[in-house]
Each structure stands twice: as structure tokens, then as C-alpha cells.
Amino acid sequence: MTIVHLLERNAEEFAQDTALVEINPDQPETRHITWNEFELVEASARRHYRREITWEVFNEKANRCANMLKQCGIKKGNKVAILLMNCIDWLPIYFGILKVGALAVPLNFRYSSDEIDYCVGLAEADMMIFGPEFVGRVEAIASKLSKRLSLVYLGAACPVFAEDYNDLISECSGSFPKCELNETDDAAIYFSSGTTGFPKAILHNHESLIHSSIVEQKHHGQTKDDCFLCIPPLYHTGAKMHWFGSLISGSKAVILKGTQAKNILEAASSEKCSIVWLLVPWAQDILNALDRGELNIKDFDLSNWRLMHIGAQPVPQSLICRWLEYFPNHQYDTNYGLSESIGPGAVHLGIENTHKVGAIGVAGYGWEVKIVDTEGNEVEKGSVGELCLKGPGVMTCYYRDEKATADTLKNGWLYTGDMAMTDEDGFIYLVDRKKDVIITGGENLYPVQIENFLASNSKIKDVAVIGLPDTRLGEIAAAIIELKPDVSCDEAEINEFCAALPRYKRPRKIIFADVPRNPTGKIEKPKLRKIYGAEGLVDSQNKS
């Protein structure tokens, strides 16, 4: 069985049931409008916009896409890149690519022109389907791209350098002959976050995709009656693999465009959502809006909401404690995974283990974990080492990068680059990224531990801790602190708060500034090091 078979089963068994809903709170009144025109539309002229499709229509749209691809010469083993913002057509296009036996290649919507060019070249894409938001970036490299691949545009006002997606599929059939697929066939290429340069291409087969859907359903118990609110970008494994729980259960999912706290609660209320996956900043925004009285829980019907889970980054314990004060009946789970391990679920806390908030959990369904030292030997409980994963969801390889593959995959184990430890009960705690560890005066500092401590300060909205060069200690810990709106706080107050930390763990430099995060919620520490690295070179001789 492959992931495609789940869609076809749903189209047969649940044909007229709602599969996907798209909600855009800021959709312009005019539906056929280019992105440039959208930016000129006054906010007062925009309205709440909603559309939905059934499982039958979902499958038909995927079939039309598959037939279009086939007519364009796309066949099994070819690659088709997707450069779209979240929308109701995203997933049908993804499945249309898989149905024809090609590999889906989702692209980060924040990629620059150079990154788009690099990634489609690395993946050896034969076609790219892109939306109106990317016309400018694609146009800048269209002359280069058109020599290597077909450019297909989804939206109004098709640019002259591309073919119109809607024109191409207009005469295509809504049925598609089955393509012979098995679990070992290549299915998709995803890209790493690119925190150390241009992204690496991550190759997965159909076994990985089907395993991720099984893991999600096992962990969160999706049934036909559930409704999943999907907010993160679908190009990322995290959002899509969590949605796979809806796919395997045949349940409804809502694609919300935008991350405003009010919009999230309104969507959860109006669509009777039962499962919501949040990133840390969005959960904080909801809590802060409730704290300030800008939102009132009584204004929303959240009685169906049973599960809130967070992944993609370490979760401060203080955040979940605050969340459960407002939502005491919520089940909570956190998920850990990488694009290399087909997204979430390789490690998860489990809804029955809220008492272990702060841990990322235990090995997920069908997964094995171990924590090793630099020699590859397993460490004792309580000792820090590198977290390693093994299971059906591990990537095939880094596409066209044998060295990176050999460095990361060893004897079937995926070496994650994340430093972790286990407690006496076997629960895993994420300490930090291997490359983010700060060595100060011979002591190892793990920024996540300091960030979690600072996050418990009621005045702090977000925080990132990075290492900055120091003439005496080699590196020092610097805390970039983003304060909540309308609060005052100075360096002396932060230093007083940090007095509760061991002396060597206290940040030696405090910077009040915004904390940048990527679309999946991860702190962009390379950006912070680039901004503050030069000014961090100080002599700590007189600091204590």
C-alpha cells in the first residue's frame, strides 16, 4: 500500500464527505486577482473567504493533475517542484504528482530566486508549478529555468514565460489509470532548513510516507469524527505528515491561511476543530492575547478541541503550564522529528504523559532511538549525547550528496545532530543542536536550557541564546530577548532574574531585539550570529 491508495479509498468510501476546507481571513472581494493587485487592495475591501472540497473532488483534482502531467511528458521517476502558498489545490497537486509515479519536490515559499534555482537544479526537476506570489522571483530566473524544466503557473493572469495550469487541465479526465507503485519507489524530495548554507535534498520513498501516516494516527487517535486545523506551510514535512492522520482516518482538515491568534481561535470554533498543531510563537500569541484581554475564550465555541500539540522546536515547560491554565481539558503532545525522518513522530511525549512536560518523549510508534557519544557508544541515563533514530521513516539518502549521506546515515541509524539526554524513566530531553553548543571556559553550555529558563519570565515574549566570540573564554552566551508588547525591562532586571542560574550558565550579554524564526518556528540562529557576532568579540576578564 502507498499513500496514494489511501486517497483513492477515501474517494470511494467517503465520497461526499468534506476532505479539505480553505479559510483565508484576508481574501480580497475579487476572486480573480493577481498577487500584486492583492497588495493594493485596502483591508476594508477584504472579507473572510472559505471554500471546501469533498474526498471525491479531491481525488478527481489529483487525477486531472496526473493526466495533465502525463500529457506534458512527465512519467515515473521524473520530478515536479511545487512552489505554492498553502491553498486547497496544494494537496491535490501533490497527489497528482505521486499518482503518475513522479517525485513531488515541495519548495520553501521563502526561497529567494537563487535558492529556487539551486533547489530545482539539485533535485533535477522536470517541471515546476508555482503561484502568483512567486511571479517576480521566478521571472528573474525564468530564462535559466526554461532551459531545464517546464514552468506551469497556477493562478490568474498567467505570465508569458509560463504555461497556465488551469488551461492545461481543462480537458483532462477526472479518472486516472492506476500507476504501478510500491513502497520502495521514490516518492518525494524535501529540503533541509539550510542553516549552514544552501539546503540539502532529502529523498524519501513511499514507505516513509505511509509510515508517517500510521505513526500520526497511532499517536493521536484520529477518527472519522476528528477535524484537524492545519496552519504551518504544507511544503514542510511537519504540516503534511500531521495531516496524513486525517488522510488515514478519512476525516476533515482545515487549511488556515495566516497565524493571527484571533483567526486561529475563530477557525477552531467555526469548523469545530478537534486537533490543532501550533508552533511555539503562535501558542504564545494566543496566551498573550488572552492575558491582555484582547481575546475572551467565552467568545469561541472550543468544545470540540481535544488535542493541542507542538513540534519543530523545543517547547518551554512554562508555556504548556500557562496553556493548561486556560485550557485545562486539553490533551497535550509534543512531537520531535526531522525532514530526514519524514517529519514528526520519531519521538513523541504521548497524551498520557503531560506530567513529563519538558521532555520530547520516548521512541514513537515503529521507531528506535539511542543516544551516543562521539565514538558511537550509548551513554548512560543523565549523560548528554547525540540522538540517533532508526525506523521505516528514515530518508533514503541526501540526493546527489554521498558524503553528507555517509556522515548522517550509519548502519541504518540516522544521526540527528541534536544533543539529548534521558531521565531515570527513559524520557528524552532535547538539550540542543550539536552545532549550537557553546563552549565557554571549557564548560559546555546548552542554549535551550537557558532559553527555557528565560522563557519563564512573564515579561519575555521570545528568546534566543547564541554563542559569541570572547578573547578570554573563547565564547560567551548572549541572550537576544524579545519583550512582550507594552512592558518595560532592562539589562539589570534580566541579570537579577538570571541569578537563579548557576554562574557559568548566566548570559554575559543581553540584547533586546526581535527573535527571527523560520516558517516552521525554528529560531534562525545563523542570522543572529551574523548580526551580532562581530560586536560579540569582547574581553570578559572583568565580568563575573
CATH class of 3-241: alpha beta
Classified by CATH at the fold level, domain 437-536 comes out as GMP Synthetase; Chain A, domain 3 (3.30.300)
- pLDDT the model gives residue 491: 93
CA atoms lying within 13 Å on the CB side of residue 200: 20
Q: Which of 182, 251, 184, 194 is nearest to 221 (CA)?
A: 251
Phi, psi dihedral angles at 246 (to 5 degrees): -70, -40
- pLDDT the model gives residue 192: 82
Amino acid identity at 252: K
Residue 82: which region, alpha, beta or left (left: phi > 0; alpha: psi -120 to 50)? beta
How does residue 31 score in pLDDT terms, banded at 50, 70 and 90?
Answer: very low
pLDDT at 39 over 70: no
Q: What is the pLDDT of residues 388-410, one digit of tens each?
A: 999 999 999 999 999 999 999 99
Q: What is the pLDDT of residues 98-157, one digit of tens each?
A: 999 999 999 988 888 988 999 999 999 999 999 999 999 999 999 999 999 999 999 999
- pLDDT the model gives residue 172: 96
Q: How far is residue 162's CA from residue 305's CA, in Å, rounded to a whole number? A: 43
pLDDT at 18 over 90: yes
Least confident of 14-23, 350-359, 368-377: 350-359
Q: How far is residue 130's CA from residue 126's CA, in Å, rounded to a whole number? A: 13
CA atoms lying within 13 Å on the CB side of residue 26: 13
pLDDT at 166 over 60: yes
- pLDDT the model gives residue 435: 72
Q: What is the pLDDT of residues 447-476, one digit of tens each?
A: 888 888 898 898 999 999 998 887 667 788
What's the whole-number average pLDDT of the chain? 88
Q: Which of 418, 420, 453 is nearest to 436 (CA)?
A: 418
- pLDDT the model gives residue 335: 86
Task: Report the percent of the chain where pLDDT is more than 70.
Answer: 90
Q: What is the pLDDT of residues 476-489, one digit of tens each?
A: 899 999 999 889 99
Domain residues of the chain, as ranges?
3-241, 437-536
Range 352-358 average pLDDT: 85
How does residue 27 score in pLDDT terms, banded at 50, 70 and 90?
Answer: low
Q: What is the pLDDT of residues 170-195, one digit of tens each?
A: 999 999 888 889 999 999 999 986 54
How does residue 43 score in pLDDT terms, banded at 50, 70 and 90?
Answer: very low
- pLDDT the model gives residue 404: 93
- pLDDT the model gives residue 449: 80
- pLDDT the model gives residue 37: 41
Q: How remote is the C-alpha of 384 from its chain's centroid?
A: 26
Helix 55-71 vs helix 90-99: angle between axes, to the nearest 10 degrees? 50
Higher pLDDT, 524 or 194: 524
Q: Which of 529, 485, 517, 456 is nearest to 280 (CA)?
A: 517
Q: Which residue has the cell 501558542?
A: 283
- Give the chain's length: 544
- pLDDT the model gives residue 177: 82
- pLDDT the model gives residue 293: 94
- pLDDT the model gives residue 441: 63
Least confident of 30-34, 232-236, 501-505, 514-518: 30-34
For residue 261, give the H/E element and its range. helix 261-270
- pLDDT the model gives residue 314: 64
Query: Would strands 385-390 and 413-422 be described as parallel, antiparallel, or unpaired?
Result: antiparallel
For residue 320, give the H/E element and its range. helix 317-326
- Please, where are the H alpha helices in 23-80? 35-40, 55-71
pLDDT at 519 over 90: no
Higher pLDDT, 31 or 492: 492
- Hey, which residues does 3 pair with through a beta bridge? none
Is 435 in contact with 417 (CB distance < 8 Å)?
yes
Is 353 in contact with 361 (CB distance < 8 Å)?
yes
Q: Which residues contact 147 (CB under 8 A, 6 or more apart)?
A: none
Q: Which residues contact 527 (CB under 8 A, 6 or more apart)?
A: 516
Q: What is the pLDDT of residues 302-329, one digit of tens each?
A: 999 999 988 766 677 788 888 999 999 9
299 C-beta neighbours (distance < 10 Å), count: 11
How does residue 207 score in pLDDT terms, banded at 50, 70 and 90?
Answer: very high
For residue 403, give the H/E element and its range. helix 402-408
Alpha carbon distances (Å) from 537 to 447, 468, 471: 19, 7, 7
One-character DSSP codes across 490-528: -HHHHHHHGGGS-GGGS-SEEEE----B-TTS-B-HHHH
Higher pLDDT, 62 or 109: 62
Q: How far is residue 162's CA from residue 153's CA, in Å, rounded to a whole number? A: 6
pLDDT at 443 over 70: no
Higher pLDDT, 429 or 40: 429
Range 59-84 average pLDDT: 97
- pLDDT the model gives residue 538: 45
Range 513-524 average pLDDT: 80
- pLDDT the model gives residue 193: 67
Q: How remote is the C-alpha of 404 from its chain's centroid?
A: 22
Is 215 in contact with 245 (CB distance < 8 Å)?
no
Q: How far is residue 44's CA from residue 406's CA, in Å, rounded to a whole number? A: 55
Cα of first residue to Cα of last residue in the chain, in angstroms, is 61
